[in-house]
Amino acid sequence: MLGQRKSLADVTRHEEGRALAKTLSWPHLIALGVGAIVGTGIYTLTGVGAERAGPAVILAFAIAGAVCACAALAYAELATMIPAAGGAYTFSYAALGETAAWVVGWSLILEYSLACSTVAVGWSGYLVGWIQSAGVTLPPALLAGPHGGGLVNLPAVAVALAVMGLLVAGTRESATLNIVLVVVKLAALAVFIVFALPAFDPTNLHPFMPYGFAAAESGGHKRGVMAAAAIVFFAFYGFDAVATSAEEAKRPGRDLTIGIVGSMLVCTAIYMAVAVAAIGALPFTRLANSPEPLALVLRSLGQPLAGHLIALAAVIALPSVILVMMYGQSRIFFVMARDGLLPRGLATVSVRSGAPTRITLLTGVAIAVVAGLFRLDEIAELANAGTLLAFIAAGACLMVLRRTAPDAPRLFRCPLPNVVGSLAILGCLYLLWSLPSATIARFLLWNAAGLLFYLAYGRTRGLRRTAAARRP
């Protein structure tokens, strides 16, 4: 049972009432990918990356993007070959077996939940800042959880529940609104580049690599290009949420390839342009660890209005990141429940919208509770660890299925699959090793707890319950 794999036929065959409606086309999928990728990462991590790598944060963005590009090619082949919800979890079930699928799914739950809650708290900070700048004073007890001396971070709870409501209304409606929010974010970044790039000063790039290339730990902190890449990696992932939507794509072969590869190409180009403009405009020591590096650059260049507009765009558009990440987590939960690894009663869809309403409500409430009550700054990097494991699994699945199912239809064929898969695995392993030691330890504890739950519950209820439910 531990090594049992799901057949490719079973992956895409579902009993009545447990199949997701096909409502998404390629513009929705590109917007889902860009909506998840372009968010708090590029708005805030430029400063964090500069603190760890200096001007070479530009190179860190390129390395993280290259690793993600390999993973994206693997995802594109796997998602068009296995057009079912669940992303790397589903791929792993078909290629590596149930235990590996559980570990990947459990790690994805960590990725999506922490990302959603972190963005909700960040959005709350932006919103409160704007309200207070208008002279409105809000009760401190409703602006922070117990860790900050308050009762609950009410704005963070509100935005999480609002996004949950959108997803309950229907996938297509949520994806259409996401397109609008993505346009707002891209317009804001275009404004930044237009104002910052003319101030480019080559002297700000020297020394280019003050902390070296490899990640070196000192005093509990890692510095170097790879240390920065392991952090700015957060700014890239999100295209895996497109893969989780495979079951809902109208034309999976075309739409998923365009959505996954297209969102990565768009975002890599944007990130490189933003990083060059930011580092070229100000010395990296001024950007280091700034919570709002892009607005800082514009204010320093005498463009306060443009800086305010960048912040306003964050308030308006950051909920799109929560939307896509919550969408991805609800689909991971849904598929794991449909497979019996979690209670199967959760794996039902709405007759009206075709969306998994019950699991979406559970996901939204859980994220709202975490965002409202808990301190996340020390564990946010755990989201990166979960994603890196999923990307490692995708690279492995690509190569395994080329050997075990060579004749299976592949609407998109990854070029040089063994090379691409190996680069994805090795690159993600290096980035995982480059994370702080405390983060790696917490990640191992999370998966140890998950394996205990799997052995106690999921192991006895996996494929056997699914097969029993399909018997006439």
CA distance 262 to 145: 39
Model confidence at 10: pLDDT above 70: no
Enumerate residues 6+ apart whose C-beta is below 8 A from 96: 5, 393, 396, 397, 400
CA distance 183 to 189: 10
Structure confidence at residue 418 (pLDDT): 94
Average pLDDT for residues 13-41, to the nearest whole number? 65
Which of 168-177, 206-215, 377-386: highest mean pLDDT?
206-215
Structure confidence at residue 22 (pLDDT): 63
Higher pLDDT pick, 62 / 246: 62
Model confidence at 271: pLDDT above 70: yes
Average pLDDT for residues 408-437, to the nearest whole number? 88
Higher pLDDT pick, 231 / 289: 231
Is the overall model pTM greater than 0.85, yes or no? no
**Encoded tokens for 71:** 């993973």
- At 113-140, the pLDDT tens digits run 877 887 788 778 767 766 776 677 778 8
Exposed e or buried b per residue across 207-220, where buried means at least 16 C-beta atoms within 10 angstroms of its C-beta: eeeebebebeeeee
- At 157-189, the pLDDT tens digits run 999 898 888 777 765 666 677 677 778 878 888
The single residue listed with the structure tokens 């057949």 is 7
Structure confidence at residue 261 (pLDDT): 75
| Window from 18-27, 202-211, 321-330, 427-436 with minimum mean pLDDT | 18-27
Q: What's the chain look like in SS3?
A: CCCCCCCHHHHCCCCCCCCCCCCECHHHHHHHHHHHHCCHHHHHHHHHHHHHHHHHHHHHHHHHHHHHHHHHHHHHHHHHHCCCCCCHHHHHHHHCCHHHHHHHHHHHHHHHHHHHHHHHHHHHHHHHHHHHHCCCCCCHHHECCHHHCCCCEHHHHHHHHHHHHHHHHCHHHHHHHHHHHHHHHHHHHHHHHHHHHHHCCHHHHCCCCCCCCCCEEECCEEECHHHHHHHHHHHCCCCHHHHHCHHHECCHHHHHHHHHHHHHHHHHHHHHHHHHHHHHHCCHHHHCCCCCHHHHHHHHCCCHHHHHHHHHHHHHHCHHHHHHHHHHHHHHHHHHHHCCCCCHHHCCCCCCCCCCHHHHHHHHHHHHHHHHHCCCCCCCCHHHHHHHHHHHHHHHHHHHHHHHCCCCCCCCCCCCHHHHHHHHHHHHHHHHHHCCHHHHHHHHHHHHHHHHHHHHCHHHCCHHHHHHHHCC
- At 69-99, the pLDDT tens digits run 888 888 888 887 887 777 889 889 989 988 9
Structure confidence at residue 378 (pLDDT): 55
Structure confidence at residue 398 (pLDDT): 94
Enumerate residues 6+ apart whose C-beta is below 8 A from 242: 29, 32, 33, 75, 79, 256, 259, 260, 263
Question: pLDDT-based confidence at 258, cuts 50/70/90?
Answer: confident
CA distance 65 to 241: 16
Question: pLDDT-based confidence at 321, cuts 50/70/90?
Answer: confident
Q: The domain at 22-463 falls in which architecture?
A: Up-down Bundle (1.20)
Contacts 24+ apart (CB under 8 A), 203-206: 204/55, 204/279, 204/280, 204/281, 204/282, 204/283, 204/284, 205/55, 205/279, 205/280, 206/55
| Window from 15-29, 129-143, 404-418, 430-444 with minimum mean pLDDT | 15-29
Structure confidence at residue 128 (pLDDT): 77
**Encoded tokens for 286:** 């001024």
Higher pLDDT pick, 311 / 89: 89
Structure confidence at residue 1 (pLDDT): 40
Enumerate residues 6+ apart whose C-beta is below 8 A from 241: 32, 33, 36, 87, 324, 325, 327, 328
- At 446-463, the pLDDT tens digits run 999 999 989 888 777 655
At residue 133, what is the residue type?
Answer: S
